[in-house]
Amino acid sequence: MYVLVSKWARSMMAWPLGIAISKEAPDSIIRVRSEYGNSFLITVGDVVTMNTIRYWRVPDLAFMDLKTRRTIGMGGVETVGFDRVINIVNKPATLSIEVINAVRDAMRDAVNGIHVLIQVDGEEDLLAIPAVLLAPRGSLVLYGLYTGYLIAIPITDEYKLAMLKLFSMMKPANA
């Protein structure tokens, strides 16, 4: 079973659901590092993940699709620093039960000290939703907005509730 993103929910994803940082890397990463130093760290997106590794550290959990802006292949992406690489398929504008379960399992491993990279065939952006919902409180999720902002979501009850509301706007569909 898949959950499809409604047009309303998709339009909501275009707005930053967290703290928007307008500075380019490395300044944006350095700012986040100075504020959230030792937090359990999750990154969503290739550029954000690579900049985080370059200017801070290997995330505890990362999501990449080996593309930027959905078309430009990243090529030669290093998985150095990750203890485990998981490959999943996530159709555009959807989240499947299998994908959510894979995120849950990866989150459990990451919480136990294993650095996990999830390589996504398809769309990785929406995986920020289950990442926020499943992340331990006090964690930090970073993702890039297509407008060039780095978005930081400190995992609090309020942000979890916001993501739960967004998730509730999605509608079930058959595979």
Question: What are the start-end ranges of the H helices in 63-96?
Answer: none
> For residues 100 and 140, what is the distance between their CA atoms, to the nearest angstrom?
19
Residue 124, annotated ligand binder? yes
Residue 35, annotated ligand binder? no
According to DSSP, residue 162 is labeled H
Residue 125, annotated ligand binder? no
Strand pairing class (41-44; 61-64): parallel
Residue 65, annotated ligand binder? yes
Is residue 14 a contact partner of residue 36, using CB atoms and an 8 Å limit?
no
Residue 83, annotated ligand binder? no
Residue 171, annotated ligand binder? no
| Region for 122 from its dihedrals, namely left if φ exceeds 0, alpha if ψ lies in -120 to 50, beta otherwise | left
- List binding-site positions for GTP: 46-48, 65, 67, 124
Binding residues: 46-48, 65, 67, 124
